[in-house]
Structure 1
């Protein structure tokens, strides 16, 4: 069970989920052009910041690539938000499709919510992000994505099983993700 929990945690990590969401929504809405802008949005909101986390981990500045130490999360989130805003400016200058711009803004909004909570308490970012992606997919792409709503439960189980979060920390990630998904769907 421990191995399954580790696999779920890695496969549905925030970087993977945000990247897949931005690429998929971009491609679905605008084909290859949307895929390109989704890739650009993912670079600035997920891939680039994750590369910074990996570097910080190797330099001993953060505990691990999931930034398990709550006190280390705020500077990481602030850096990711700055990167996201740089990506937003670039997307606007290049005339990106609305779905890519709203997707990037939603990820930044999610970082604000998670950062605010994590300044005081350790909310599960994994569960928050996977809930956002699942709910936003259902709201904007249709009922064919309803099975995705099971993923947050599996990821939440994995985070508790690995002792990375308490049940309460996992459960609070769900409404955080729902708030961001509602904002995403509302602005599309």
Structure 2
């Protein structure tokens, strides 16, 4: 690797990590799944689900950082565990409210699937740090491939880039990234398939 390439790698990794953070996956996946389920009406439901899964949790994290309930970036396990209930609450609310309000079944399945992924990550985090970026990327990708078909399999390259970025930035070990991808894809794919 040349000096220029070596110098630019951290910048590229930081950009990929920022663009592939969990909230962005949910902001994209929820409207797409909703649209697939019921056209424009489903897309509108998808926007509501996107707010519950991709807007409210990061807002809760920001408020917690400002109030010093946990550290910024949630890099420590104790901070992740302290923030977990605040991150999970809007997803659980969505998982309960969406079917009651008449949202498409596929969309509810997505929200329940991603809630299950976060619950699995929280359980693992009680003993070990795991990559949430990688897990959510793999989980959302699995759901999108199950929804739209194999032509979306190239999303696995984006999941790979996300995992690489977390490694390159020194946020996770290879094992933490591999477990994140595996848990995200397996849990989200299984739950979504069972509920859709």
Both proteins in one fold, TM over 0.5:
yes
Q: 1:26 aligns with which of 23, 34, 45?
A: 34
For residue 167 of structure 1, what is the aligned residue in structure 2?
A: 174
For residue 55 of structure 2, what is the aligned residue in structure 1?
A: 47
The answer as to whether partners of 1:25 and 1:99 remain within 8 angstroms in 2 is: yes
Write out per-residue CA displacement over residues 56-86 of structure 1, whole angstroms, 9 at most, x where no aligned residue: 223333222x311111112322222222222
Describe the SS at the equivalent of 1:165: coil
Describe the SS at the equivalent of 2:153: helix
For residue 18 of structure 2, what is the aligned residue in structure 1?
A: 10
Of residues 85-94 and 137-146 in structure 1, the stretch that sits farther from structure 2 once superposed is 85-94
For residue 115 of structure 1, what is the aligned residue in structure 2?
A: 122
Deviation >6 Å, runs of 4+: none
Of residues 118-127 and 30-39 in structure 1, the stretch that sits farther from structure 2 once superposed is 30-39
For residue 138 of structure 1, what is the aligned residue in structure 2?
A: 145
- Normalising by structure 2, what TM-score? 0.89
Write out per-residue CA displacement over residues 110-153 of structure 1, whole angstroms, 9 at most, x where no aligned residue: 11101001111111000001011222222221111011011121
CA distance in structure 2 between the aligned counterparts of 1:164 and 1:143, rounded to whole angstroms: 31
The answer as to whether partners of 1:41 and 1:88 remain within 8 angstroms in 2 is: no
Q: How far off is 1:46 after superposition?
A: 2.6
Of residues 73-82 and 126-135 in structure 1, the stretch that sits farther from structure 2 once superposed is 73-82
Residue ranges of structure 1 left out of the alignment (5+ in a row):
none
Aligned length: 187
For residue 154 of structure 1, what is the aligned residue in structure 2?
A: 161
Q: How far off is 1:18 after superposition?
A: 1.6
CA distance in structure 1 between the aligned counterparts of 2:142 and 2:108, rounded to whole angstroms: 18
The answer as to whether partners of 2:120 and 2:183 remain within 8 angstroms in 1 is: yes
State which structure, 1 or 2, has the greater radius of gyration over its C-alpha atoms. Answer: 2
Cα RMSD (Å): 1.4
